[in-house]
């Protein structure tokens, strides 16, 4: 039933533009994890509602989500970070090809180190999107907490990770530790006194956390 529902909802989405289709095909061919169609649509809707001026993305990959965010928030400044050199180079090409270098600032390096620098420098972002190493989500969120003001939004992808977080009875051994950390992460989000969080079973699971104070 869930799979049929997802297929139905995806059939209602607008057809991908040429550049979107090219990046989606590249990601599929080269096994690059990008947001699933319903997940990215939900992310874009949150951006339409929130209208952030500065967006921080943790995990650029090939630039797909940064460009999709720019599509609905063309006036926002997007800062995005990637530590994989091959994906970073591909993201540079994609962003440059669409002439979005002014709107999207791409940083090569470790996200935790860069976020720590942002905190030290007093940087502020009113929207943070976390989509990188799942085992580091807790650390990413802790640093994001220091970067967003009251009313800021932190969005996290893959918090249900293929359904294994909800039902770990058949989780492959190689994912057991990650799933355990994601369970703890979700519990932290739902009980964090400074945030109101909703976890949506969309795509691979998307959590949106608004900072209350």
List the CATH code of the domain at 2-211: 3.40.50.150
Q: Kindly indicate the confidence band of residue 208, based on its pLDDT and cuts at 50, 70 and 90.
A: very high
Would you state the pLDDT for residue 75?
Answer: 97
First-residue to last-residue Cα distance in the chain:
39
Give the pLDDT band of residue 43 (cuts 50, 70, 90): very high
Residue 137 in this model has a pLDDT that exceeds 70: yes
Q: 146: which strand partners?
A: none
pLDDT attached to residue 151: 98
* pLDDT > 70 fraction of the chain, expressed in percent and rounded: 100
Per-domain residue ranges of the chain: 2-211
pTM (global) more than 0.85: yes
User: Strand locations in 18-100, DSSP E?
Assistant: 54-58, 77-82
- 169 phi and psi, to 5 degrees? -65, -25
Query: What is the rounded average pLDDT for all residues in the chain?
Result: 97
Known binding-site residues equal 35, 65, 82, 110-111, 131, 157-158
Q: Which residues are annotated as a binding site for Mg(2+)?
A: 131, 157-158
Please give the average per-residue pLDDT across 196-200, as a whole number: 98
Predicted local confidence at residue 1, as pLDDT = 65
Q: What is the pLDDT of residues 148-177, one digit of tens each?
A: 999 999 999 999 999 999 999 999 999 999
The annotated binding site for S-adenosyl-L-methionine is made up of 35, 65, 82, 110-111, 131
Confidence of residue 4 (pLDDT cuts 50, 70, 90): confident
Nearest CA among 123, 139, 133, 140 for reference residue 55? 123
Predicted confidence at residue 201, as pLDDT, reads: 94
Rounded to an integer, the average pLDDT of 117-139 is: 97
List C-alpha distances in Å: 156 to 1, 140, 143.
Answer: 25, 10, 13
What pLDDT, on the 0 to 100 scale, is given for residue 3? 80
Q: What is the DSSP string of 141-204?
A: HHHHHHH--TT-EEEEE-SSGGGTTT--TT--GGGHHHHHHHHHHHHHHHH-TTEEEEEE-STT
Digit-coded pLDDT (tens) for 66-112 = 999 999 999 999 999 999 999 999 999 999 999 999 999 999 999 99
CA 208 to chain CA centroid, Å, is: 10
The dihedrals phi and psi of 200, each to the nearest 5 degrees, come to -105, 135
């Amino acid at each position: 039933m869930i799979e049929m529902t997802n297929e139905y909802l995806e059939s209602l989405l607008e057809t991908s533009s040429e550049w979107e289709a090219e990046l989606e095909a590249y990601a599929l061919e080269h096994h690059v994890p990008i947001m699933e169609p319903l997940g990215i649509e939900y992310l874009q809707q949150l951006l339409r509602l929130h209208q952030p001026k500065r967006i921080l993305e943790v995990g650029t990959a090939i630039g797909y989500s940064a460009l999709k965010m720019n599509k609905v928030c063309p006036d926002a400044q997007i800062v995005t970070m990637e530590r994989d050199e091959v994906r970073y180079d591909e993201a540079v090409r994609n962003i440059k090809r669409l002439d979005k270098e002014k709107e999207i600032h791409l940083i090569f390096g470790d996200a935790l180190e860069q976020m720590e620098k942002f905190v030290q420098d007093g940087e502020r972002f009113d929207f943070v999107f976390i989509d990188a190493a799942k085992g580091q989500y807790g650390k990413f969120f802790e640093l994001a907490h220091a970067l967003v003001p009251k009313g800021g939004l932190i969005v996290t992808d893959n918090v249900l990770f293929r359904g294994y977080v909800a039902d770990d009875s058949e989780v492959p051994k190689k994912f057991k530790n990650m799933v355990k950390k994601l369970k703890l992460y979700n519990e932290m989000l739902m009980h964090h006194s400074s945030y109101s969080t909703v976890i949506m079973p969309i795509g691979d699971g998307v959590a949106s956390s608004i900072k209350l104070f």
